[in-house]
Amino acid sequence: MTQTNDTGQDERLDRALQSLPRGVEPTRDLWPRIEARLERTAAEAPAQAPRRAWAWQAAAAVLLVAGTALLTATLVQRSRDASLAQSPPPAAVPGVRAMPAVFGPAHAPNPEYDAARQQLSAMLQQKMAQMPLSARQKLEANLAEMQRAAAEINAALDQQPGDPLLEELLLNTYHDELAMLAVVNQLTSTSDAGTPADATRMQL
């Protein structure tokens, strides 16, 4: 009986809540103040978001370049060692993925950035082909994990645009990526190990 009463009360409450008007007009017109704020950021208003997206892309491109340069330095060292050991490097590495630098479908990457990214990715792929299998697998798994994380954060950003926490997480992901390259460098560098790793630490 009590349950029936509760159910009845719940239904009445639901009906009451659903009967409320969803829209409530503000007591004054807010548009002039909004428009003034849009005008203050006028030049940037429509272009701000693409610029912002571009800023992210540029930041990731810098990371990509830094990472690639770092690996190149490491691998030059490694190939010197490899030639000493007279072991030929593997010819191709199927499935090796380059740096993530993914921004999600909504970010409409700039074509110039895309071209640069592809070029740098190809370079990285080539260098990774010269790495030992175990290190390469580790790097590949970590890159894939970060790629997945970045994609998830980007998807969440599409739902919650401008969310500062998500933006910070995205930036952290790219920082982690560079940090991982520093680890790779430490793992692979031999005699003059200090130089590239220190350089990376400074960039971080």
Partner 1 sequence: MRLNFAGAGAGQGCVAFPTSPPSRVGGTTRWTLAEAQAGSEIDRAREVAEERALVEAAAAGSTAAFEKLYRRHVARVHGLCLRMTAQRETAEDCVQETFVQAWRNLPRFEVRSGFATWLHRIAVNAVLAQKRRRFESLGVDGSVDDVIAETLADANVSDPGARRDIEAAIASLPRGARHVLVLCGVYGYSHDETSAMLGIAVGTCKAQLHRARQLLGARLESAEEDR
Binding site for partner 1 (CB under 8 A): 9-10, 13-14, 16-28, 30-31, 33-35, 37-38, 41, 45-50, 52-53, 105-108, 157-163
75-80 LR contacts (CB < 8 Å, sep 24+): 75/127, 75/130, 75/131, 75/188, 77/188, 77/189, 77/190, 77/191, 77/192, 78/130, 78/131, 78/188, 78/190, 79/130
Q: Which is nearer to partner 1, 18 or 86 (CB)?
A: 18
Nearer to partner 1, 31 or 172 (CB): 31
Least CB distance to partner 1 at residue 102 (A): 15
Q: Residue 29 Cβ, how far from partner 1 at the closest point, in Å?
A: 9
Shortest gap between Cβ of 44 and partner 1 (angstroms)? 8
Considering the complex, what minimum distance in angstroms separates the CB of residue 150 from partner 1? 15
Could you tell me the CA-to-CA distances from 62 to 3, 116, 174 in Å, in that order?
64, 11, 10
- Considering beta carbons, is residue 37 or 201 the nearer one to partner 1? 37
Give Cα separations from 174 to 41, 46, 65 (angstroms). 28, 26, 12
* Nearer to partner 1 (CB atom), residue 102 or residue 182: 102
How near is the Cβ of 106 to partner 1 at its closest, in Å? 5
How far apart CA 92 and CA 80 sit, in angstroms, is 19
CB closer to partner 1, 49 vs 199? 49
